[in-house]
Amino acid sequence: MHHFRYSGSDLHCESVDLAAVAKLYGTPTYVYSAATIADNVTRLQRGLAGLDAQICYAMKANSNIAVLRHFANLGCGFDLVSGGELRRVLVAGAEVKRSVFAGVGKTEAEIKLALENEIFSFHVESEPELVRINHVAGTLGVKAPIAIRINPDVDAHTHAKITTGKSDNKFGIPLKYAAAAYEAAAKYPNIHVKGVQMHIGSQLTDVSPFVEAVEKVAPFAAELKAKFGISYFSVGGGIGIVYRDALASGPQSWWDAQPEGKRPITPEAYGAALVPLLQPLGLKILLEPGRFMVGNAGVLVSRVEHLKRGAGKNFLIVDAAMNDLVRPAMYESFHEIVPLRRDTSRRALVADVVGPICESGDCFAKDRQLQEVGEGELIAFLSAGAYGYAMASRYNSRTMAAEVLVQGSKFELINSRESFEHLVAGEKVPAFLK
Ligand code: LLP
């Protein structure tokens, strides 16, 4: 569900014409819908009714400080994975107290920063990490709240690069060693055993792996509550979104029309499956959704540079590239591509949609059917709000794109397009080369 629609023939984000945004701020530009984010938060909260639930938005998906502030205003905490992310939470004027710190390689400096800002809990991935957290907490004279991440060995049936809950992934501690890990954790003088955590993967389109994982971990969570008095169970993130037919995916009728087994997870279905399993535990339940919250709330607007007609192949060359949106190159992922101005009288065009970067991997879509568009016209990559700008780079010395937030008929630049001067600001020629 999202707020990107054609109004007449022009693609709008809420009440804002995307062409007007492109005219003002240029391209490529990410545009996010504040209403979509708010709706996603509300729907997930409603789906979890009956639980004492706390949403910790996985800010790795989109960490713009305006987006973070919006989440904080909506009552969310954050799932963060670095000192940089923690500092973004502070800059956004949001609370670290409602946030959890995940990741397999937290440094001493990061642990210290989190403790100084009263992090809700650390999600611990190994015994050596516990030793380190205990040590840093000791130097500060505090007790560090922790949960151990359990790897439930469940197949999430998603892309190999984003599956995390199998025993051959680097994440968490296998369930069979978890009891011993908790016994050890409880003995550290500067550790407060506060909860238990799991996360099995990203872009799950079926609730059954979540159910399987919760069924495996819930009895253990109950034991931990009895033994150590833990107060929360984090079930991680991973709820998938619609990438195909993303524009049509608003109404319930679209969802009903999908074949059985191909329907994306709704927050209602997620809640209906998990609430009965979690409620009896009597624990606070944390959720760490990233993609579900922001994925369909963002598009990447780009301008067509050329339509190159090759031998048996057309190439639509646009001004966005793999450095701006790496997901298709990295995960072979699908993003819907639509014109900003829809014109049904135009012919169809089948083309590879590519960026200007000098490698063949800089391809957003192969043999994609589109409305014919030409030089200077605008297109949008849909469902780009999660892991879009957040994974962007400066490859080919391309500067970082601009970001804009829309709310109703208002829109504002929330990150200006990077300048060349900023791009090279930290670089210099050493004296021995002069
Ligand atoms: N919690 C933990 C511990 C995680 O590792 C992740 C994501 C999340 C929550 C949020 O997962 P989500 O709700 O967004 O599925 N760059 C990839 C996705 C990587 C996800 C990594 N971990 C992509 O573009 O598909």
> pLDDT tens digit string along 335-377?
999 999 999 999 999 999 999 999 999 999 999 999 999 999 9
Do 139 and 109 sit in the same domain of this protein? yes
> 292, 307, 337: which is the final residue of a domain?
292
Q: Is 141 left (phi over 0), alpha (psi -120 to 50) or beta?
A: left
Do 111 and 197 sit in the same domain of this protein? yes
Cβ of 103 closer than 6 Å to ligand 1, yes or no, is no
pLDDT tens-digit series, residues 189-208: 999 999 999 999 999 989 99
Do 270 and 303 sit in the same domain of this protein? no
Do 116 and 153 sit in the same domain of this protein? yes
Residue 192 CA to ligand 1 center (angstroms) comes to 26
Using most ligand atoms within 8 A of CB, pick from 60, 285, 286 the residue to mutate for ligand 1.
Answer: 60
- 221 in a domain, yes or no? yes
Burial class (CB in 10 A: 0-12, 13-18, 19+), 138: middle
- 120 in a domain, yes or no? yes
Average pLDDT over the chain reads 94
- 18 in a domain, yes or no? no
- Residue 167, pLDDT > 70, answer no
Give the pLDDT score at 126. Answer: 92
Cβ of 102 closer than 6 Å to ligand 1, yes or no, is yes
Total of domains in the chain: 2
Report the 10 Å Cβ neighbour count for 409: 10
Report the 10 Å Cβ neighbour count for 346: 14
- 434 in a domain, yes or no? no
Q: What is the DSSP string of 106-165?
A: --HHHHHHHHHTT-SEEEE-SHHHHHHHHHHHHHHT-PEEEEEEEE------S-GGGB--
- Residue 166, pLDDT > 80, answer no
Do 79 and 138 sit in the same domain of this protein? yes
207 in Cβ contact with 270 (< 8 Å): yes
Do 187 and 333 sit in the same domain of this protein? no
- 153 in a domain, yes or no? yes
Do 288 and 301 sit in the same domain of this protein? no
Give the pLDDT score at 246. Answer: 79
Give the pLDDT score at 382. Answer: 97
279: helix, coil or strand? helix
pLDDT tens-digit series, residues 281-307: 999 999 999 999 999 999 999 999 999
- 20 in a domain, yes or no? no
Q: How far apart are CA 207 and CA 156, in angstroms?
A: 9
pLDDT tens-digit series, residues 172-183: 899 999 999 999
429: helix, coil or strand? coil
320 in Cβ contact with 401 (< 8 Å): yes
Do 282 and 396 sit in the same domain of this protein? no
Do 111 and 210 sit in the same domain of this protein? yes
Residue 170 CA to ligand 1 center (angstroms) comes to 14
CATH code, domain with 172: 3.20.20.10
CATH code, domain with 348: 2.40.37.10
> 259, 292, 325: which is the final residue of a domain?
292
Do 110 and 220 sit in the same domain of this protein? yes
> Which numbered atom of ligand 1 lies nearest the CA of 330?
24
- Residue 157, pLDDT > 60, answer yes
- Residue 37, pLDDT > 90, answer yes
Residue 362 CA to ligand 1 center (angstroms) comes to 23
97-105 mean pLDDT = 96
CA neighbours closer than 13 Å in the CB half-sphere of residue 43: 18
- Residue 250, pLDDT > 60, answer no
Show the domain range for 391.
296-423
Residue 31: in which H helix or E strand, if any?
strand 29-33
Which pTM was predicted? 0.96
pLDDT tens-digit series, residues 403-424: 999 999 999 999 999 999 999 9
* Least confident among 23-37, 187-201, 251-265: 251-265
Using most ligand atoms within 8 A of CB, pick from 150, 202, 241 the residue to mutate for ligand 1.
Answer: 202
Cβ of 291 closer than 6 Å to ligand 1, yes or no, is yes
